[in-house]
Structure 1
Amino acid sequence: MAGGARGAPVGVSPADKTPNVPTDQPVVVSATEGKLKSVQVEGGKAGPLKGILSSDGTRWRSLGTARPGTSYAVTTVSVDAAGKQRETKSAFSTVKGNKTFDIKTITPNKDDTGLTVGVGMPVMIAFDAPVTDRVSVERNLSIHSSRPVEGAWHWFDDQHVDFRPQKYWPAHTKVRVEAKLAGVRGGPGMYGKRDVRVDFKIGRKQITKGSTDEHVLVVRRDGEKVRTMPMSAGQGGQWKYYTTSGVHLAMSREPVTVMTSPGIGPGQAGYYSLTVYNTVRISNSGEYVHSAPWSVGSQGNSNVSHGCVNISPDNAAWFIKNTLIGDPIIITGSPRKLEPTNGWGHWQEDWPQWLKWSSLKDGPTMILRH
């Protein structure tokens, strides 16, 4: 404590002149007698630390994280029972950092998916550097929604962490993603560069189901059947051109896609190169639901494709127009299963499996209302 007129005694943590304070250590100010009138924690170019005062006015606590390698000045004004004020000043400095990490991409966002997505949509964050302090980072990632939903984060590796609900999002839900990572420790000497926020909304509940045995796709929207489409799936055979079984998500909508045989070059048996129209990607292994005028005769009765789901040109034009990124497309009947890491195969893991890869062991995240 320092300087000023007599008034209520005040305690400040970190103590005056404390060096190397962790960026996630909160600043706590307590009035042992009387009340706090104001608290300011200034970090120069790094900006101030905001905080919240207790309802009885005796305790103030900073919110968020401080910046590394920064000197902070703490100024408090307290008042005692007689109305006398006292100003105290102290200072501390945070641990130095020699590098930063940032969010490289976050999905969904308006640039690649639009503002409205399907009920199966995960939140996917990719970092530009490996994160070794996963707990610190995950604690500063939050999801808020207009309807209460239970969900959790899942680390696929040190640079990718994704969020999904336990069950599909409720239709027409508004969602906000907040990554408050500025100053957050991501590893030894490495701290977050900035905060990021993304808002999006969930559309109607549309789920498409298809069977490689029955050769039909059925689209239901909000529980009502809206379209039945004959289909042809992967033929299997020598090159194992199977359509994967599992819960796929619509990953992109592409008016034109050039498809080539994986691992087979021109002049080799099994080679193909096709220009295909009205395609909806459902995996990273080259699977799409797309227009296939050449297989209309087989659609509805047999599997002749190289692994994609073939439908007629009219049905493909309708499907690409009426599909949102993140819509579930569930395929059954194939001996090949969709891997959880193949595209957006997040729903291939049951809930206990999903939770195993969260760094926070105190249970799933309860999403709060806005």
Structure 2
Amino acid sequence: MKALRNARRLPATLVALGLAATLGLSACTGDPAPSAPAPAAGGSGSASEVSPAKLTTQPAAGAQNVAPGDPAKVTVADGQLQSVALTNPDGKQVAGQLAADKRSWTSTEALGYGKTYTWSGTATGADGKTVPLSGQFTTVTPKRQVSGTLNVGDAKTYGIAMPIALTFSSKVTDKAAAEKALTVETTPKTEGSWAWLSDTQVHWRPKEYYQPGTKVTVTAKIYGVKIGDGVYGKQDVSASFTIGRSQIVKGDTRTHRMQVIRDGKQIADYPVSYGLDSDPGRVTHSGTHVVMEKYPTYSMSNPRYNYTDVNVPWAVRISNNGEFIHGLAASVWAQGKKNISHGCLNLSPARAKEYYDGVLTGDPVEITGSTQQLSPKDGDYSDWTYSWADWSKLSALSA
């Protein structure tokens, strides 16, 4: 009781000071803030904010009339894929590749037309829970499938003017869609462009002649691509080839000569008889021709000029209008002096054989001096009759 009595005798000023200190402390700090909960392991924020796995399939579940040209894909957000299967109607799984981070899976084999595919599998979310993968989609059944054929072949060697031609089995109405599926890769890099020469044929040529030794790969990934109303590509086609040495034939109908320039050096200067210039039906056309094919013996016919089945040796076709470089013993007297042929370049059989042995499909043959000009109507390899500006405009993707 003594202590209590002493406490009651404390001066009023000391009591007041103690109370003021207590009140002052409360005014500066306020009430203590509640502490935030610790983040859940493996995520951010509170445990209630950790998200489950979110799966997305492409094509989407329930999709119909899917073009099978693009790969099927499944991706996951806030988690990882544990297993993925895409199964065709026969129960066979489509081959595919799981990404290293396990956040996506992409099919690596082509899907079929007119089939229903089923997804299955699982993913684990950041919340540790398993989410099932499910759903179906159906690919389109085409009204018609169109195939494509290339004029070049694997491991072949061609001349420096060789055009690439892709010919479709029927009319292409969506040329832009078809052209987007086409690629040409070259080493060294070579500027070039596609050009539609008809509704069924598209060509690619470089802006200038290829550099000798250029490696070329052309790919037409047209399978599954819609190229018309209900019309789809039937199969992909591709080829890898090489450009050989540079060889250019330069011929002048006025001098009755033909020079062969190989890798910048003249290796031959032959006397020639060109087509009779006074007759538009027999004249050899001026312009850049391209060697298309060659034959040891070829049968020539032209009923308009009263001859059929005339066999000539060492025939090299340079256009589709009947122009060849070939041997003809009967015109040796005129070669180097007069133009008397029906449009072909006549050489002696020995000289024709010499030229034949060194020629490549795709070699350019540049003719000058005649009254008639080579034009696009003169054949499939008339690509070089266009200026580069005009050629580029024939692309379905030109601006």
How would you bin the TM-score normalised by the shorter chain? 0.7 to 0.9
Checking the alignment, whether the CA contact within 8 Å between 1:65 and 1:184 is kept in structure 2 is no
Q: d(CA) in 1 for partners of 2:274 and 2:356?
A: 18
Which residue is equivalent to 1:30? Answer: 75
Letter matched to residue 328 of structure 1: P
- Could you tell me how far 1:243 is from its partner in structure 2? 0.2
1:172 equivalent to 2:213? Answer: yes
Measure the CA separation in 2 of the matches of 1:178 and 1:49: 23
C-alpha separation in 2, matches of 1:30 and 1:286:
59
Measured at CA, do residues 177 and 49 of structure 1 come closer, stay the same or move farther in structure 2, by a change above 3 Å?
farther
1:222-261 correspondence to structure 2 within 5 Å: 222-238=263-279, 240-261=281-302
CA contact (8 A) 1:68 1:191 kept: no
Higher relative contact order (CA 8 A, sep 6+): 1
Structure 1 Cα separation of the partners of residues 248 and 75 of structure 2? 54
> What are the equivalent positions in structure 2 for 1:286-325 lying under 5 Å apart?
286-325=322-361
Residue type of the partner of 2:141?
K
Check 1:219–1:129 CA distance in 2 against 1; reply closer, same or farther (3 A cut).
Answer: same
Larger mean CA deviation between 141-150 and 206-215 belongs to: 141-150
Identify the match of residue 113 of structure 2 among 68, 71, 75. 68
Q: Is the 8 A contact 2:69 2:222 kept in 1?
A: no
**Matched residue SS, 2:351:** helix
CA apart distance, 1:58: 4.4
2:251 is aligned, of 196, 210, 214, to 210
Inter-CA distance 361–201: structure 2 relative to 1 (3 Å threshold): same
User: CA 1:313–1:158 in 2, change beyond 3 Å: closer, same or farther?
Assistant: same
Counterpart position of 2:153 = 109
Shift of 1:162: 1.5
Between structures 1 and 2, the one with greater strand share: 1
Rounded to whole Å, the distance in 2 between the matches of 1:120 and 1:94 is: 41
State which drifts further: 59-68 or 126-135: 59-68
Q: Once the 2 structures are TM-superposed, how far is the Cα of residue 129 of structure 1 from its aligned partner? A: 1.6
Instruction: Give how far 1:144 is off.
Output: 2.2
TM-score, normalising length: structure 2: 0.78
Q: Where does residue 368 of structure 1 map in the other structure? A: none
Whether contact under 8 Å (1:24, 1:64) holds in the other structure is no
Amino-acid identity (%) = 36
- Report the Cα offset of residue 318 of structure 1: 0.7
Aligned-residue offset at 1:339: 1.4
Unpaired runs of at least 5, structure 1: 1-5, 266-270, 363-370
Mean CA deviation greater in 199-208 or 141-150: 141-150
Structure with the higher helix share, 1 or 2: 2
| Equivalent position SS for 1:168 | coil
Choose from 5, 8, 15 the match for 2:53. 8
In structure 2, the CA distance between the partners of 1:171 and 1:48, relative to structure 1 (3 Å rule), is farther
SS in 2 for 1:119: coil
| Mapped pair 1:193 → 2:237 | no
Q: Where does 1:265-344 land on structure 2 (aligned, <5 Å)?
A: 265=306, 271=307, 274-343=310-379, 344=381
TM-score, length basis structure 1? 0.83
Unaligned runs of 5+ in 2: 1-50
CA distance in 2, matches of 1:56, 1:149: 37
The answer to whether the Cα contact below 8 Å between 1:153 and 1:358 also exists between their aligned partners in 2 is: yes
In structure 2, relative to structure 1, the CA distance for the partners of 1:50 and 1:195 (3 Å cut) is farther
Equivalent in 360, 363, 368 of residue 397 of structure 2: 360
Q: Which whole-Å deviations, capped at 9, do the CAs of 1:336-363 have from their partners, x for residues lacking one?
A: 111124231111111121122211236x
Q: Alpha-carbon deviation of 1:221?
A: 1.3
Structure 2: distance between partners of 1:146 and 1:100: 33
Q: What is the identity, as a one-letter code, of the residue corresponding to 1:69?
A: G
Answer whether contact 1:23 1:185 (CA < 8 A) is retained.
no
The code of the aligned residue for 2:391 comes to W
SS at match of 1:274: strand
Change (3 A) 1:346 1:53: farther
Tell me how large the CA RMSD over aligned residues is.
2.9
Equivalent pair of 2:280/2:372 in contact (CA under 8 Å): no
CA apart distance, 1:259: 1.5
**Structure 1 residue aligned with 2:64:** 19
Code of the residue aligned with 1:350 in structure 2: it is S
Distance in 2 (alpha carbons) for counterparts of 1:63 and 1:138: 23
